[in-house]
Structure 1
Amino acid sequence: MSSLGVPPFEEQEKENMSITKEVKASDATAQKMFSEGTLVEVSSDDDGFEGAWFAATIVKAVGKDKFLVQYQSLRTDDDSGFLREEFDTLHIRPCPPETLVVDRFSLFEEVDALYNDGWWVGVISKVLGGSKYLVYFRDTDEEIEFKHSDLRPHQDWIDGKWIMASQALMKCFTCDCLRNQERIPCVPGEIALHLKDSASCSSGSQLMIF
């Protein structure tokens, strides 16, 4: 007599077969999506590279859900050729579609910035003249200037689809004692970025919370 809550053997066997079929289908999809010569982007968990995506080309499959890729811009230490590395499918994605044409990025818009040969996620913290922007990076608490041509709209690869990112969480406050730009602690785990004289908050400053 089986214990309460434990499915009968036949039902459990059917469930296991169903899971096996799903895994095989997933493997086949990955093999088809990341076939030899396909242009992709890869990410690394190494210190200093978290969150960045680098352009690469699939060289070949090297195992279950694992592929050898060749970077398009990163070279070997001896500069003899482009670097090759193995990645699993959790760290590989197709290149974002280039159908989006953006003439101008807006304040607080989430973007990808091309920096040190990779695409890094940031937020437009200030719109400058001459098609230039200041981009704030949460992970490093840095603000760097970029040309429009080195930015692209941020998209997320979720469940096999490209999803446009929502605007950064923001909240508007009035404040009379802020200087041009000032970062202040907000609540534990958050960073507040004050931008004085924001067009959307003419009476004071904008507070962007990450």
Structure 2
Amino acid sequence: MAVFSKGDKVEMCSKEEGFLGSYYEAMVLSPLNNNTLYKVQYKNLVEEQDQTRPLVEIVSADEIRPLPPLTTPRDTTRTFQYLERVDAFDNDGWWVGTITGKQELKYWVYFETTKDEIAYPVSQLRNHLEWRNGKWVSCTKSFF
């Protein structure tokens, strides 16, 4: 598991029901309990009671990973292949899905966790990468 410091930009992997398979950008406010917990502030999520304040949570180290490397920043000419694993930006986070088709300038993405299939422009898609043993690993094909 990676060790993070105050100010590091990270992604949080949600394990809550309804949010499984989603990643949210955050910043580490402080490591806690010998780096087994972290206090983070989300970039796009806000407090339920005060929607002008960014959401701050204490999360387990196994829910946090570095920001994935940018392959090509918002490349609108990028193409994806049938059954390729991607992350789609929706509802303030990145959701893991699989390309199931293309229609004009949008790609259809199927989400196994929700059973939804939604069309997205290329600008809202990125290659799906997994953080394993301290390295980014490409997971290009789906097995559903």
Structure showing the higher strand proportion among its residues: 2
- Contact 1:96 1:155 (C-alpha < 8 Å) held by counterparts: yes
Matched, 1:112 2:87: yes
Letter in 2 for 1:97: P
Matched, 1:141 2:131: no
Matched, 1:161 2:129: no
Q: In the TM superposition, what whole-angstrom CA distance separates every residue of 1:59-80 from its partner, at most 9, and x where no partner exists?
A: 0112121110000000112213
Matched, 1:96 2:96: no
Report SS of the residue matched to 2:123: helix
Question: Runs of 5+ in structure 2 lacking a partner?
Answer: none
Q: Which residue of 2 aligns with 1:74?
A: 45
Matched, 1:53 2:28: no
Question: RCO (CA 8 Å, sep 6+): is it higher in 1 or 2?
Answer: 2
Of 21, 28, 33 in structure 2, the residue corresponding to residue 63 of structure 1 is 33
Larger radius of gyration: 1
Shift of 1:111: 0.2
Q: In the TM superposition, what whole-angstrom CA distance separates every residue of 1:15-40 from its partner, at most 9, and x where no partner exists?
A: xxxxxxxxxxx7xx61xxx1111100
Instruction: Quote the sequence identity (%).
Output: 38
TM-score (norm 1): 0.63
Letter in 1 for 2:47: T
TM-score (norm 2): 0.90
Q: Kindly tell me the number of residue pairs found equivalent between the two proteins.
A: 138
Shift of 1:44: 2.3
Report SS of the residue matched to 2:52: coil
Structure showing the higher helix proportion among its residues: 1
Shift of 1:89: 1.2
Question: Runs of 5+ in structure 1 lacking a partner?
Answer: 1-25, 170-209
What CA distance in whole angstroms lies between the structure 1 residues aligned with 2:31 and 2:14? 18
> Which range moves more in the overlay, 144-153 or 73-82?
73-82
What CA distance in whole angstroms lies between the structure 2 residues aligned with 1:43 and 1:125? 24
- Contact 2:85 2:99 (C-alpha < 8 Å) held by counterparts: yes
Shift of 1:106: 1.3
Consecutive aligned runs of 4 or more in structure 1 exceeding 6 Å deviation: none
